[in-house]
Structure 1
Amino acid sequence: MSDVQEPVLLGRPTVGEAELAAVAEVFRSGWLAGAGPACRRFEERFAQLTGTAHALSTSNCGSALFLGLKVLGVRPGDEVIVGDYTFPATGHAVLQAGAKPVFADVRPDIWSADPAAVEALITPRTVGVLAVDVAGQPGDFDEYRAITEKHGLWLFEDAACSSGATYRTRPAGSLADLAAFSFHGRKGITAGEGGALVSNREDLIGPARKLHTYGIEPAISREGSGTLPIPEFHELGYNFRLSDIQAAIMGVQLDRLPGLLAARRSVARRYHEAFAEVDALTVPVELPDREHPWQAYLLTVAPELSRDALALRLREQGVQCNFGTYASHLQPVYGEQAPLPVSADAFRRQLAVPMHAELTDAEVDRVVTTVREAVRALS
């Protein structure tokens, strides 16, 4: 009998019979394609969750970011200020829209864009600010809004990790002109892939809805017509639709969301208590005026301790882990960028440890023990 333990997974979705039943219902309906009845039902509910008037389901968060930039009117030659500490999908969307991402350094505690750094980067070519909710915790949106209104810019929230988060009692998604969400497998709610674009502005979501379906209204809008409407293509669009199969899964995930958030927050509390007294580690901060959804739990390793050596030791013991996320300005695809020391430091020293709603008490204990023992061995 083997005494090898199963690995403690870095991330794991919570899915089961309810999701399978929802998919079966879509199969019976005969509408499996995108932008159908299940998508519309999900969009109505997701708009409610995010406190917005409109939600548009998309194939992923990257397509939501790109669509948002397109309907905001981003053009070649424009500059968009982007919070630097983020998966490069954020900067990629700016490049894909033909504009230049200008990366802003971040706060040293929650790693979202420092408002002072944002304002210092504004030039005559700046058209807007794309602010990232790092690990799901919203950044300083009242300050961002004051800056963008002062300079006549738009504000876009990259809320990829933020389903269920709040900022000063307002839900993530309602904090900017537009917000983009991800439903990737490691996010708090998931259909494996998928995303959404939300806004209170119909003048933005209306055009986005057409662009995400090749430049015409989705087929469901023509259902039940007494004539034979034949759409005309007046602009170049894309296929960025979420399938109704995925939308049905997301409907169940919305039902699960309160419990998923509670489970993640419980794990975060236990990690806080266990790691707060480890001198070589700094635990992440949850600011008192926001609710953190804990899409990821990022420890910051002391400079004198090798983050990479710690990660390898954890993996050897069956505890999955990874670096936090990217200091985007260091990625070659973006060309020469100004140094951003806070983001670069986080990129070198942060470590993501297992965080998901399926973690058992025994697994959390194992993560804690393994991390503490590894730190002692390497110190």
Structure 2
Amino acid sequence: MTEVIALGQPTVGDAELEAIAEVLRSGWLAGAGPTCARFEQRFAAVAGASHALATSNCGAALHLAMLTLGVKPGDEVVVGDYTFPATGHAVMYAGAKPVFGDVRPDIWTLEPAAVEAAITPKTVGIVAVDVAGQCADYDELRAIADRHGLFLVEDAACSAGATYRGRAAGSLADVATFSFHGRKGITAGEGGAFVTDRQDLAAHARKLHTYGIEGALSREASRELPIPSFDELGYNYRMSDVAAGMMLAQLDRLPDLLAARRQVAARYAELLKDFDLVTLPIEAPDREHTWQAYILTLDPTVDRSEVALRLRERGIQCNFGTYASHVQPLYGASSACSVSADIFARHLAIPMHANLTDTQVETVASAVREVVTAVRSSRSL
């Protein structure tokens, strides 16, 4: 039977089981409890920020970012185009319009010049995306935001543990948001975080993520019987304490998980560096990449769908990279993002996770060489 080499795979075990058992023994399983509070304190330190709020997912955190930063109907927000549509959705949740900016051709993050070109009198903010775990150009984006009086948000869904010019992902914008989905570097299956240095934004987000009232944990120690009053529409965007327990165990693993992914990325680069039908992903010299995904750019003469089919037949899971948001029908975008559209058509993600063995990496690299060459040859006949 052919071995299946997974595209992504969490690293979990006894530590996570014990963390869950500890939460079960505590009696507090629901969201925003004492285990969430412990996780928030530790994750804020990882992200280099003063405040962290555990959320149900990254999309919820992005929505909270839009609400707390005052986005309203009629506003426009410039968004990095090459991203899972949760980024653009969050702008629409607030009633505003995402205006997509094209991306750099080398690391696929929001191109600062594209931001300048997209700004109109309706623009209120910028959302940059750390594509596949590599930070965007935050110094340049911060300068643009300050010059035009805009907010800056870091969609750090894939970049827990990444750095930019020596600073941690999460500390680079007014608000940063993280994902702990099952394919991310650290995971509780689902989950997210809202991170900021601003106490006012953190307090407002905490209120909104619990239906618009003060959370039960903060009321528990009261000597009275506090009865919350609902004065603002909020949401149930809380992370459960069960998930937070898993996340505490995952934070203990984070350095080792990042090191393992870096080793896989280096090995792929070594094995495929002289293969001219693919362009390899790069790590910018002033950044530390988390390698949440390893994405190849196929030569334009290669049929990506056929490559994916043949790799899967060999038991090697693969997928496209992520989305060129501006071509998605929902958004009705009028502007073109040529770089994003091109890589959306040519990107292929191959297995990347911390559990890959060297033998598996060699198997994947060898299969990529053979399959891509065969597909290219069949097209030229």
**Shorter-chain TM-score tier:** over 0.9
SS at match of 2:152: strand
Where does residue 286 of structure 2 map in the other structure?
Answer: 289
Cα RMSD, aligned residues only: 0.6
Residues 309-353 of structure 1 deviation map (CA, whole Å, 9 limit, x = unaligned): 111111111100000000000000001321111000000000000
Could you tell me which of 201, 206, 221 is aligned with 1:204? 201
Deviation at 1:365, TM superposition (A): 1.2
Deviations along 1:239-296, whole A, 9 cap, x unmatched?
Answer: 0000000000000000000000000000000001111110100000100100000000
Provide the residue aligned with 1:298 in structure 2: 295
1:253 to 239, 250, 253: 250
Residue in 2 aligned with 1:320?
Answer: 317
Whole-angstrom distance in 1 between the partners of 2:329 and 2:119:
23
Amino acid at match of 2:94: A
- Per-residue CA deviation, residues 131-159 of structure 1 (Å, 9 max, x unaligned), is 00000100100000000000000000000
Partner of residue 216, structure 2: 219
Q: Does 1:266 align with 2:246?
A: no
Asked whether the 8 Å contact 2:99–2:333 carries over to 1, the reply is no
CA distance in 2, matches of 1:254, 1:191: 11
Q: Are the equivalent residues in 1 in contact too, given 2:207–2:215 (CA < 8 A)?
A: yes
> Who is 2:93 aligned against?
96
The answer (yes or no) to whether the contact 1:56–1:205 under 8 Å persists in 2 is yes
Do the aligned partners of 2:271 and 2:362 also contact (CA within 8 Å) in 1? no
Deviates more, 1:74-83 or 1:301-310: 301-310
- Aligned residue in 2 for 1:231: 228
Query: What SS is found at the alignment partner of 2:223?
Result: coil
- Which residue does the alignment assign to 2:132? 135
| 1:115-145 superposed Cα distances (whole Å, 9 cap, x missing partner) | 0000111100000000000001001000000
User: Structure 1 residue 191 and structure 2 residue 188: aligned?
Assistant: yes
CA distance in 2, matches of 1:274, 1:102: 39
Contact 1:330-1:337 at 8 Å conserved across structures: no
Q: CA deviation at 1:5?
A: 1.9
Q: How does 1:1-379 map to 2 (within 5 A)?
A: 4-379=1-376
User: Paired residue for 2:379?
Assistant: none
Structure-2-length-normalised TM-score: 0.98
CA distance in 1, matches of 2:107, 2:165: 15
Rounded to whole Å, the distance in 1 between the matches of 2:242 and 2:56 is 12
**Distance in 2 of aligned mates of 1:276 and 1:296:** 18
Contact 1:298–1:353 under 8 Å retained in 2? yes
Offset of residue 359 of structure 1: 0.5
Which stretches in structure 2 are left out of the alignment for 5+ residues?
Answer: 377-381
Give the partner amino acid of 2:277: A
1:26, 1:117 → 2: CA distance? Answer: 47
Deviations 1:64-114 (A, max 9, x none): 000010000000000000000000000011111100000000000000010
Among the aligned pairs, what percent are the same residue? 67
Q: CA contact under 8 A between 2:163 and 2:289: conserved in structure 1?
A: yes
Tell me which amino acid in the other structure corresponds to 1:268.
A
Structure 2 residue identity aligned to 1:324:
G
Could you tell me which amino acid in structure 1 is paired with residue 155 of structure 2? D
CA distance in 1, matches of 2:210, 2:102: 36
C-alpha distance in 2 between matches for 1:117 and 1:105: 6
The 2-side partners of 1:293 and 1:72 are apart by 28
Q: Secondary structure at the match of 1:131?
A: strand
TM-score (norm 1): 0.99
How many residues are paired up? 376
Greater than 4 Å deviation, 4+ residue runs? none
Structure 1, gaps ≥5 residues long: none
The DSSP-based 3-state class of the residue aligned with 2:65 is: helix
SS of the residue 1:197 aligns to: strand
Tell me if structure 1 keeps the 8 A contact 2:31–2:238. yes
